Amino acid sequence: MWNTVVIERLNPSPRQLKTIKKKMNKDVSLVQQLALLKKEYEYEKQTFQHDTEMMGIDRKVKRGDCWFPITVGRSYYNSLDRFVVEIMRPSGTDIEHNFEYGRQVCFFSQDGAGLLHYLSFQATVSYAEADRMVVELPGEGALAQLQSLERAGVQLHFDDYSYRVMFDALHHVIEAKGNRLAALRDMFHSAAPVSWGAESAVPLRLPWLNASQEAAVRDVLRAKDVLIVHGPPGTGKTTTLVEAVSEVLRREPQVMVCAQSNTAVDWMCQQLADRGISVLRIGNPSRVTEAMLANTYEHRFESHPDYPDLWQVRRGIRQLYSLPRKGRGENFHQKIARLRERADELEMRIRHALFDQSRVIACTLTGAANQLLAGQHYHTLFIDEAAQALEAACWIPLQKADRVILAGDHQQLPPTVKCAEAMRGGLSRTLMEQVAHCKPEVVRLLRVQYRMNEALMRFSSEWFYHGQLEAAPEVRNRSLLDYIDDPLVWVDTDQVHLEGEAVPEADNEGVVLNHEQFVGSSYGRINKREAELTMQTLKAYVERMGRHRLLEERVDFGIISPYRAQVQYLRGLIKRDAYLRPLRAQITVNTVDAFQGQERDVVMVSLVRANEAGQIGFLSDLRRMNVAITRARYKLVILGSAQTLCKHTFYKKLFDSCQHV
């Protein structure tokens, strides 16, 4: 039981403290999450402050957390009457960045001595592309400060917004009494039974879905409280969700769709829009395309017939405020009041029209706290990527819903938790896991996968899904080559020599000393020799298949590593390799986390770890490895030190399942 000292460390208000103490016996797990979330918040804040003070610009740029130098472009008031400015970085860089909608940023300048000087204000990213982003400033005065800088840069700032809305959500859930939110809270954290509609009341035939997908859609319609759609890799989770949303909309006027990331929200929006369903995207998309922008609230707002009138009224207000105080006249305040009243009237009219015309309201989990959604309520809420979201984040949109459909795979990437103490305390345990544990009867497993041939699928199915997956007939035996091509290969980097390599250092048994290097907490580890072997293996496979054929058929490659340092080193090798230049557009190199939800024809995984002690660090997070080994459609090549990795049962079994090189 949590004692008073622990509770008081959360710094709740007196009223909240009283409520929490009253409910301790009932909602211990939620109170615990509040404490753990506080630890995660403090840890991340302190880490950010330390990195800001100690980390140089070049390193921040390489991490994707900073643009330097920048060019300041045009400034304007957007459709929501927010003052924004365009920011550009030098084009041609291949460094991916972490700037996206809603992230907080700060600006700085660098003097001749290399010292950084930060401006006093923070700004918010409105949307970001590869080399351009639009940033919301606190006012025109901030722009003047920014324009006065000679060598300016922008970097991510510690963003406490997501924490604030998660804290608020948990407090509301804990305090809820006698309403639907309280009922869902008690149901999800106990063995209380869930309610179902009659199966006979849901006549449904969807022959384009497989049996498990159809059953999941049918039960989405029957569930009155909660349902989990468990979608292992390649089983058509998005297809099932889109079909479920479509069927629910035959029975309800509107639903809400959320996900942890902007990318997942964008993907769902695109799939629903392609079905002809009217989607209103709250928050700007990460994939800034015309199709995606057309669904955003801002774009639809600007396209409304009343918007020109609203723009003129807002312009009139700004012109009045620009007048010198002596020239404003006696009726200045009356004019301002009338114009503001008119602006509010027009804005509310447009807002109501946009929401009334939309069947799906889509946003991220934290985006559900947007003021645009204040007072909105939905019978059904869909949460995609639920296995990657903290429970606290899921409660943000859940406050607006009567029932929830959770979709994801708890055997793939978990939520990101950086504080070790919070991780040990169980902060990473998701709402999806919590509900699945208390109520296994609400879980619907999608069993047929359409990505991998059977040989590629078998190990993941047996280890993570109790052997319940089956390959669809159309992918079961497919291969890129007409003759026998082993789909699952392990290149033992202890045994394979580089071409042209001098006799490598070896131990007494002739095993090559293949060492990793630690390059910092932000980048992790690197194994340059293994990276070279990865390139050698890639080019050998290209030569075997024929480069011209690969170009004609647009065969794509994914090179995955758990460590950022290895990813960056591999990118550099590919960029400098003349032989691979024609294929460069077909080769993607990235971390495991970045490959979540993606697939490629051929995938190579560089595991990096190689040491005499058999230490594998966070490679022991097997869910991350499940993502890595399930991205390939036709062929998977794993490169790693068998001597190091096979001390772990998982990797020993994986090694035994592969052909060896």
Rounded to an integer, what distance in angstroms lies between the CA atom of residue 264 and that of residue 543?
Answer: 36
Q: Do the Cβ atoms of 405 and 443 come closer than 8 Å?
A: no
pLDDT score for 2? 37
Q: Hey, CA dihedral for 29, 31, 34, 36, is it positive or negative?
A: negative
Among all chains, which residue has been given the structure tokens 């035996």?
A: 477
Residue ranges of the chain with per-residue pLDDT less than 70 = 1-28, 200-203, 287-288, 482-484, 500-514, 521-523
Provide the whole-model pTM. 0.88
pLDDT score for 289? 73
pLDDT score for 480? 87
Q: Hey, CA dihedral for 298, 304, 308, 309, is it positive or negative?
A: negative
- Angle at the Cα of 71 from the Cα atoms of 66 and 74, rounded to 5 degrees: 120
The structure tokens listed for 41 are 């918040």
Spell out the SS3 assignment of 88-151: ECCCCCCCCCCCCCCCEEEEEEECCCCCEEEEEEEEEEEEECCCEEEEECCCHHHHHHHHCCCC
Q: Do the Cβ atoms of 368 and 270 come closer than 8 Å?
A: no
pLDDT score for 48? 87
| Cβ neighbours, 10 Å, residue 421 | 12
Helix (H, G, I), strand (E, B) or coil at 173: helix
Alpha helices in 275-419 (DSSP H): 290-293, 297-303, 307-322, 332-357, 391-398
Residues β-bridged to residue 99: none
pLDDT score for 115? 87
